[in-house]
Amino acid sequence: MKFLESDETLYTYSLMFLYISGTSNLFILQFLQAPYGKHLSPSWGPTVSPTLAWVLMESPTIFLPLLLLLFPLARHRSSPRSLSLLSLFLLHYLHRTFIYPFYLPRRAPTSKATQFPISIALMAFSFNVLNAYVQSRSIFHYIDYDAEGGVGFWVRFFAGLGVFLWGMSVNVRSDLVLVRLRGRGRGIGCLLGGGLRG
């Protein structure tokens, strides 16, 4: 089918772009400070509130997988294995999109912490569109679950689930600690003796 061939081409190029841009960003960010929070720079253009920026830039990770779940040319869209993987992806991004942004402290409108460059939010939005597309199409169509065997998949899934839940709990707890510290006007230097190090 021509449509599937074009989808496979889009999937391949999207995956390649994510690999290349990730490597490039790792290099670029050694020399460039991400311009938000205390590093906000007016040269990056107009700004919006951090809460709005977070919700908008993370939203493709929720809506695109759900749309692709309805995609008729998805071999595994009703498979328990693909739905189990998708549920963890959505759990993570539901928190990042609709919970974390509303914990961000409210500051005076003149504070840098109340501003987020639209240009950075658009870059993050673009990344999340690609990421959500690649993850979703992998889960629903391109992974060969049969080659892995039924038991092998579930052994790895539950081992990975343990790591995922541990990592997410560390992430959520760390977010809450940082948000509380920022609300009091303190920095991350206060954390050096705690968290995973203590």
Q: What is the pLDDT of residues 108-121, one digit of tens each?
A: 455 555 688 999 99
Separation of alpha carbons 74 and 159, rounded Å: 26
**Half-sphere exposure at residue 134, Cβ-oriented, CA atoms within 13 angstroms:** 15
3 state DSSP class of 116:
strand
- Secondary structure (DSSP) of 7-53: HHHHHHHHHHHHHHHHHHHHHHTTTS---SGGG--GGG--EE-HHHH
- Position 68 scores a pLDDT of 87
Separation of alpha carbons 14 and 19, rounded Å: 9
To the question of pTM greater than 0.85 for the whole model, the response is no
Tokens of 12: 């391949």
Q: What is the pLDDT of residues 140-196, one digit of tens each?
A: 999 888 877 778 899 999 999 999 999 999 999 998 888 787 666 555 555 545 555
Percent of the chain whose predicted confidence (pLDDT) is above 90 = 51
Residue whose C-alpha is closest to residue 160's, from 90, 85, 63: 85
| Overall average pLDDT of the 59-78 stretch | 88
Residue whose C-alpha is closest to residue 80's, from 145, 24, 22: 145
Separation of alpha carbons 94 and 55, rounded Å: 10
